[in-house]
Amino acid sequence: MFMGKSTISIHGHEYYDEVYGVRITPIFLTSMFEQPDRRTGETRVVEGGRELKYSREENPTTRYLEKVIARLEEGEDAIAFNSGMGAITATLLSELQQGMKVIIPMESYSGTIALLNSISEKMNLKIEKIFPETEDILEAINGGADLLIIETITNPTLRVIDIREVAKACSDSNTKVIVDNTFATPILYSPLSEGASIVLESATKYLAGHNDVIGGVVSSNRQKISSIWEWRKLTGTIMQPFEAFLVQRGLKTLSIRFEAHSKSAMAVAEFLQEHPKIEDVYYPGLSSSPYKNKADKLFKKKLYGGVVSFKVKGGRSSALSVLRRLKMIVPSPSFGGPESLLTYPVISASKYIPPEDRDRLGISDNLLRLSVGLEDVEDIIEDLDKALRSGA
Ligand SMILES: Cc1ncc(COP(=O)(O)O)c(C=O)c1O
């Protein structure tokens, strides 16, 4: 049977209770499990064969979520973490070895770069921070590297990277590639099917989708997931059952939510483009965007995500004044939920990018990043318009 991503997110791995006929995965709120099973004398296992004895290692609710994620991301297996950073930590600990050369775009998530820098001191890594354009990344791969860590869409300037070409270059030169797919989600793009070794996401964003859960997921082949699982166990970073339930619940509407976020984001981007108080708009769906062709080549649907960045005329004071004058949109540094959030990158994630790199990237004092929520788009536009017009 054909199974599209919406169907997989709902029926991708279903619970079935023999006694009551329950079809919704329960929250197995327990820290311990009977070991050994008194009927058989054996230790129980979850699907995939890992032992079920203690919820820091395995929990059935979490495992059900993982099986859905694996299918959505087109991997053989997946594991879930208590944060996106937990997922990145265990993945790096599993993949890195002493003295490796790692390349990473300078506009990557600040936590990833900070973690890599800290590990690097202990493991004598050679880290090369490169400009986040496909051509620069291909050049760096040609120069030789052991590992590339990359994001499908960069944050906050929303450059689209041609992961297909990058993954091909990596496979030709034996470079492992880890893709952070948080901004695109499996609805837009599946890096594993294009040759990425590992794909990870902060589930805090679109996957859970309601601004109320912190979580992370990693998908890959079975062997890599087993190795990352060992690090999850050692670092104690498994996603707990209540959060796993919420993420699985959120996933069931991921496809329609992502479509609604994307359509409203396009309308907001078009509105901002014409606004007299706006200097520049960054959104890969705009026909004027230099990334439109790449997005159309890579993304399965004609959708471009729910985040729009823009520069207001007048510098830092104007940007701060817009944030203060919002009535409905919340000034806050996250994205991917029903509430529209406006982020000021220079005081949040981009704060840690050195000023000279920020200049090259275009992350200036008047740049704002909007996570377009699920409110009526007319209300989002009106709130922005009023905040922009009454600003300094
Ligand atoms: C692209 C990206 N990856 C990873 C993370 C880290 O995820 P979490 O906040 O769930 O730890 C974030 C957080 O904002 C992010 O934006």
How many angstroms separate the CA atoms of 34 and 29, rounded? 14
Beta strands in 25-124 (DSSP E): 77-81, 101-105
Q: What is the pLDDT of residues 28-71, one digit of tens each?
A: 999 999 999 999 999 999 999 999 999 999 999 999 999 999 99
Regarding whether 164 and 242 lie in a shared domain, the answer is yes
Regarding whether 195 and 287 lie in a shared domain, the answer is no
- Rg, C-alpha atoms of the chain: 21
CATH number at residue 373: 3.90.1150.10
Average pLDDT over residues 260-271: 98
Q: Please tell me the predicted confidence (pLDDT) of residue 380.
A: 98
- Neighbouring CB atoms inside 10 A of 11's CB total 14
**Which residue has its alpha carbon closest to ligand 1 atom 7?**
84
User: Among 251, 286, 301, where does a domain finish?
Assistant: 251
Regarding whether 40 and 107 lie in a shared domain, the answer is yes
Nearest to residue 329, comparing CAs of 284, 365, 291, 383?
383
Regarding whether 301 and 230 lie in a shared domain, the answer is no
How many angstroms separate the CA atoms of 281 and 263, rounded? 16
The structure's pTM equals 0.97
**Which residues on adjacent β-strands are paired with residue 219?**
78, 199
Regarding whether 258 and 246 lie in a shared domain, the answer is no
User: Among 202, 233, 251, where does a domain finish?
Assistant: 251
Regarding whether 136 and 45 lie in a shared domain, the answer is yes
My answer on whether omega of the bond before 36 falls inside 30° of 0, hence cis, is yes
Query: CB of 180 closer than 6 A to ligand 1?
Result: yes
User: Among 251, 285, 310, where does a domain finish?
Assistant: 251
C-alpha distance from residue 312 to each of 105, 277, 319, 344, 354 (Å): 26, 6, 6, 12, 22
Concatenated DSSP letters of 163-175:
HHHHHHHHHHTT-
Pocket test for ligand 1, best of 81, 82, 83, 85 (most atoms within 8 A of CB): 85
* 251 CA distance to ligand 1 middle (Å): 17
What six digits make up the tokens of 52?
Answer: 């079920």
Beta strands in 191-277 (DSSP E): 198-202, 216-220
- Neighbouring CB atoms inside 10 A of 33's CB total 19
**Which residue has its alpha carbon closest to ligand 1 atom 2?**
109
Tell which atom from ligand 1 comes closest to the C-alpha of 204. 10
Nearest to residue 320, comparing CAs of 299, 338, 347?
347
**Which residues on adjacent β-strands are paired with residue 26?**
none
What is the tally of structural domains in the chain? 2
Tell which atom from ligand 1 comes closest to the C-alpha of 108. 1
Q: What is the pLDDT of residues 112-152, one digit of tens each?
A: 999 999 999 899 999 999 999 999 999 999 999 999 999 99
Q: Please tell me the predicted confidence (pLDDT) of residue 274.
A: 98
How many angstroms separate the CA atoms of 61 and 38, rounded? 22
Q: Which domain holds residue 95?
A: 5-251
Regarding whether 29 and 128 lie in a shared domain, the answer is yes
Q: Residue length, the chain?
A: 392
* 85 CA distance to ligand 1 middle (Å): 6
Regarding whether 187 and 134 lie in a shared domain, the answer is yes
Query: CB of 216 closer than 6 A to ligand 1?
Result: yes
Q: Which helix (H) or strand (E) holds 312?
A: strand 307-312
Backbone angles phi, psi at 36, to 5 degrees: -75, 165
**Which residue has its alpha carbon closest to ligand 1 atom 16?**
109
Regarding whether 310 and 289 lie in a shared domain, the answer is yes
Question: Binning pLDDT at 50, 70 and 90, where does residue 392 land?
Answer: low
Regarding whether 212 and 89 lie in a shared domain, the answer is yes
Query: CB of 182 closer than 6 A to ligand 1?
Result: yes
Regarding whether 274 and 240 lie in a shared domain, the answer is no
Regarding whether 196 and 300 lie in a shared domain, the answer is no
* 78 CA distance to ligand 1 middle (Å): 17
CATH number at residue 195: 3.40.640.10
